[in-house]
Amino acid sequence: MILIRQKVKAEDGIINIRLPDDFKGSVVDVVVKTEDDLSARLMLDTVKIDTTKWKFNREEIYGG
């Protein structure tokens, strides 16, 4: 695995990363992280599901 680290500023919500020619035609896994915590602005914790009343038939699920 080769790791390329490059800090860029996403001015318009778009980033461009120049890759070496050896990467042409390859599947590339891209991970984006920020230096500051954006979770509050992204509202990642706003969806809550109450599962306390959910009932499952374990025999049906596991073939008991």
Residue 36 DSSP label? S
> What integer pLDDT is reported at residue 64 of this predicted model?
58
How many Cβ atoms from other residues are within 10 Å of residue 23's Cβ?
Answer: 13
> What integer pLDDT is reported at residue 25 of this predicted model?
93
From first to last of its 64 residues, the chain has per-residue pLDDT tens of 788 888 888 888 888 888 889 889 999 988 888 877 776 677 666 777 888 888 888 888 787 5
pTM, two decimals, is: 0.43
Backbone dihedral region for residue 13 (phi beyond 0: left; psi -120 to 50: alpha; all else: beta): left
